[in-house]
Structure 1
Amino acid sequence: MSSRTTYALGGVALLVIVLIVVLVVRWNSDHTLKVQGDGYGPVHDPAVSALLDSDGAIVLGKPNAAKTIDVYEDPMCPNCGSLEHLYGQQIAQKIDEGKLAVRYRLVNFLDPKSAGKDYSTRAVAANECVADAGDGPAYAKFHTALFTAKQPSEDGGDLSNDQLAAIAKDAGASTEAQQCITKGQRVDSARNHAQAAMAAVKAAVGQVRTPTVVDGTTEIDVNDAGWVGKIAP
């Protein structure tokens, strides 16, 4: 083997090693993000309300909130779970302070990833049942649980309507909201609302992708650890 070939192979090997190091560093940085506002918990100010709009959007906040953002999520989406885990408590604090309101636009494109092939739709319906009662803290607790501790895994995960109703009960949702979930009363409307939300996120950013956070017409980079503080100082 010529020395030129040896040098070429050595260069390739070095390039591969550098690439591996870069990927490892990126992976570690992605997995060492700190939970922002850790210890605050979900929204707890009773002045915060949940409002279910006619298009299915769920607005969580105080009536005079300084800013409202749109958050697109699928209940089965693991990255949405990460978003809620990392930033949910900080967002809750900003909501309690009246600095921020969140318009949740829930989608259901991951239905096929669930065991029953309809979990995302049923979870969207459950969110609507709880939000329709207007209790902001109860909705915040329910939403947080569904996207963190209680979120099913993709490719086979699922929660029954009874399980969803039990989570709603633990969050402080009304008996009527629990019955709404158990009976699947909002499933049809939730399916339509989810389709509308998918059309909205595609119009906003060019594709259906979750989580997506939009401030007006500007997509927020949620990989920036300081994004919540920047939009709601």
Structure 2
Amino acid sequence: MSNRNTQASKAAARERIRAERERQKKQEKLRRQLIVAGTVVGVLAVAGGIGYMAMKANEPTGWEAAKEAKPVAPAHTQGKNGTEILIGDKNAKETLEVFEDVRCPACASFEQSSGEALLKDIEDGRYRVRFSMYTFIDDTPAGGEGSKNALNALGAALNVSPEAFLKYKAALYSAKFHPEEQVDTYSKDAELLKVAATVPELKNNKAFETAVKNGTYDRWVMDMTALFGRKGVKGTPTFMHGDKKLTIPQVPQQQMTQAQYNRLAQANFRKMIDKEFGPAKGAGKPDPGKGGSKDEGGQNGIREGEKDPTASR
């Protein structure tokens, strides 16, 4: 082989080596770029994941989330977001405002003793009633969410009809179903549906059941809850006529049966109403100290020798 051919061969070999090294350098550079890019994407993905998780962690849940849900008010409501529950003859000249909380034991006592008298006045057109349903007991040391959950169910009943609302409210407050204040029974949909089964308009009503289970009116509940403190009302039950707070006379603290207590409490409610609105049309002078009740069992509830607490009223 000539010297020239040897040199040419060596030059060609060196060129191939140089080209290979350049190719390898480019591949290494590309590899490093891909690694860096992948690392950045990974970091961004991790950061994004952390940010997403943090965002999710900070998102409101439960009843707080309900505040931001789309407003859905039951039928038969009025006012902003449907927060006015006004029931009765639209031609009635007066409006009685009743403030209640479904878990409130004093409200249950009122409903059990005087609820029928209130309903009769509504039916007779004596006045309309605006119900403001609060849920503050859920936020007391008793805790829970029974007031709010029951109010969603009441909204579902109101969506059916005002009559269904009134009957269901009476059932929820009844001695048969109303729980102790510390027991959050109404936080369970199954319990609310069990009570609803006693109301003809709600029994086997699939639309009502769906609204209860899905929390259809949860946002409405929170809008109602936000009214707490309206007209300065901080407790329940409270009764107002315009800006005037009405007061039911207290039943004397003495031994008596539940039936006798209910009768006296209803008489005192009627006294409050008669004083504010005047006597009901065609009403005779009641004598709540007399008469009996099938569930008294013949007991002498007022102690012998004690003066009838209603005799001088």
Question: Given the two structures, how large is their TM-score scaled by the length of structure 1?
Answer: 0.69
Q: Please list the CA deviations of residues 11-54 of structure 1 after superposition, one character each: whole Å capped at 9, or x if unmatched.
A: xxxxxxxxxxxxxxxxxxxxxxxxxxxxxxxxxxxxxxx83223
Which of residues 138, 147, 156 in structure 2 aligns to 1:129?
156
Which of residues 188, 193, 215 in structure 2 aligns to 1:184?
215
C-alpha change, 1:178 and 1:59, in structure 2 (3 Å) is: farther
Counterpart code for 1:52: T
Matched, 1:102 2:129: yes
Query: Which residue of 2 is the match for residue 51 of structure 1?
Result: 76
Query: Which residue of 1 is the match for residue 109 of structure 2?
Result: 82
- Matched residues in 2 for 1:91 and 1:216: separation? 17
- Matched residues in 1 for 2:86 and 2:206: separation? 21
Q: What does 1:58-69 correspond to in 2, within 5 Å?
A: 58-69=85-96
Which of residues 229, 250, 258 in structure 2 aligns to 1:199?
229
Matched, 1:228 2:264: no
Task: Number of aligned residue pairs: give it.
Answer: 178
- Displacement of 1:55 after TM fit? 4.1
- Matched residues in 2 for 1:175 and 1:56: separation? 24
Q: Percent identity?
A: 23
- Displacement of 1:179 after TM fit? 1.9
- Displacement of 1:114 after TM fit? 9.0
Task: Tell me if structure 2 keeps the 8 A contact 1:72–1:106.
Answer: yes
Query: Which residue of 1 is the match for residue 193 of structure 2?
Result: 165
Question: Given the two structures, how large is their TM-score scaled by the length of structure 2?
Answer: 0.52
Task: Tell me if structure 2 keeps the 8 A contact 1:108–1:194.
Answer: yes
Task: Tell me if structure 2 keeps the 8 A contact 1:74–1:120.
Answer: yes
Counterpart code for 2:272: W
- Matched residues in 2 for 1:175 and 1:71: separation? 30
The 4+ residue runs of structure 1 with deviation greater than 6 A are none
- Displacement of 1:188 after TM fit? 2.8
SS of the aligned residue for 2:99 comes to: strand
What CA RMSD, in Å, does the superposition of the two structures yield over aligned residues?
Answer: 2.2
Higher relative contact order (CA 8 A, sep 6+): 1
- Matched residues in 2 for 1:57 and 1:161: separation? 24
Structure 1 segments unaligned to the other structure (5+ residues): 1-49
Task: Tell me if structure 2 keeps the 8 A contact 1:75–1:147.
Answer: yes
Task: Tell me if structure 1 keeps the 8 A contact 2:92–2:127.
Answer: yes
C-alpha change, 1:168 and 1:56, in structure 2 (3 Å) is: farther
Q: Please list the CA deviations of residues 157-192 of structure 1 after superposition, one character each: whole Å capped at 9, or x if unmatched.
A: 312112212322421224322321122211232022
- Matched residues in 2 for 1:76 and 1:99: separation? 28
Structure exhibiting the larger radius of gyration computed from Cα positions = 2
Counterpart code for 1:65: A
Task: Tell me if structure 2 keeps the 8 A contact 1:84–1:148.
Answer: yes
Query: Which residue of 1 is the match for residue 16 of structure 2?
Result: none
